Structure formats: structure tokens, C-alpha cells
Amino acid sequence: MEDMTDASKPQSEKFKREADMRAWDTHEGSAGKDAFEIHMERKVFDDIADISRANPHRALGGILFGRVLTNQGASLILIEGHVVAEHTEEHEGNILFTPDSWQQINSAGREFPLWQIIGWFHIQPGAGTAIASADKFLHNNCTDLPWQIAYLVDPLNCTEELFCLAG
């Protein structure tokens, strides 16, 4: 995690682009420790919404990139970018990131050396935004830190949900 108290980062950085962010309520970290707030840049939110509207009957997914900033024990998760995985396998609305997907994601991630994987997203038309066992499997295989998130979007029901599946 990046420390906001670092001399190279002003204390006000987490509020710098708040107008361009989509904010969610505070979530609890693993085992109820370490509360954190999640902010998604408006462009990322809009891009994923556009992708879901352009493909309303196709399950798609990708990775969310950004930074985690801390200040006096509080954490702020900034979602600043995303990559749509182009080589996923789809089965009954569920997606699987293939080795080709990971190669593409890792290549795209090298373009943003200050960012890390914040989580993943899944566009799941008509499935709602409940976490399915396949989503839990994907989450456990894509993430290994307790604050990493899953962002589920259902364009047919016009719903979205952000999850932290810690623990």
C-alpha cells in the first residue's frame, strides 16, 4: 500500500479529483479491521457502463487498476483504470480469464507502473449482482489481498454492486 504521508504526496491528494470520482460507502476490511473507502474515477465507471450497454447480452470481464492510499490507519482505494480481458472463456454467463487474458492484462499493466491490481469486474447480463460461486472462484484466483474488490454489473437489470470478498 502507498502511504499518503510520504513527502512526495500532499495530504490533499485523495481529494484532488473527487469531482471526477464515483464514491461508495465505507467498507470493512478483513475481520472487521481497517475501514476503507472506495473511489472509482468517473471515466472508468463510464467506460464500463458503455461496454455493458454495447454488449447487453454478453458476459465480459476485466481488471481494475489503481492505488491504495493510507493515512493514519484509514485507507482509500482509488480505481483509476481498467483493462477489458479480450481472451476470456464464457460458460453460462460466467467468465474465466485464460492465460492469453493474463498476458494481455500484464502487458497493459506495465503501461501504468504506479498502479496495482485493485480488483476485477464482471458484466453479467440478466444475472443480477449477487455473488455466485463462480464469481468467488474467480475472485480467489485473481486477487490475494483482503481489500481487493469485485465490481459486478448487470446491464439488463440496470444494476451494479461493488464487493470486498475478504476472508
Counting Cα atoms < 13 Å in the Cβ hemisphere of 37 gives 15
Instruction: Say what the pLDDT of residue 13 is.
Output: 36
Total number of domains in the chain = 1
Parent domain of 23: 2-164
H-state helical runs in 33-123: 42-54, 99-109
Most confident of 49-58, 104-113, 132-141: 49-58
What does pTM read for this prediction?
Answer: 0.74
Strand, helix or coil at 15?
A: helix
Question: Residue 132's domain is classified under what CATH number?
Answer: 3.40.140.10
| Closest CA relative to residue 133, chosen from 85, 92, 162, 102 | 92
Q: Is the pLDDT higher at 96 or at 59?
A: 59
Query: For residue 125, what is its C-alpha cell?
Result: 447480463
Percent of the chain with pLDDT over 90: 21
Instruction: Say what the pLDDT of residue 129 is.
Output: 83
Residue showing cell 481529494: 15
> CB of 61 within 8 A of CB of 85?
yes
Q: What is the mean pLDDT of residues 89-96?
A: 78
Q: 69-78, 95-104, 123-132: lowest mean pLDDT where?
A: 69-78
Instruction: Say what the pLDDT of residue 73 is.
Output: 73
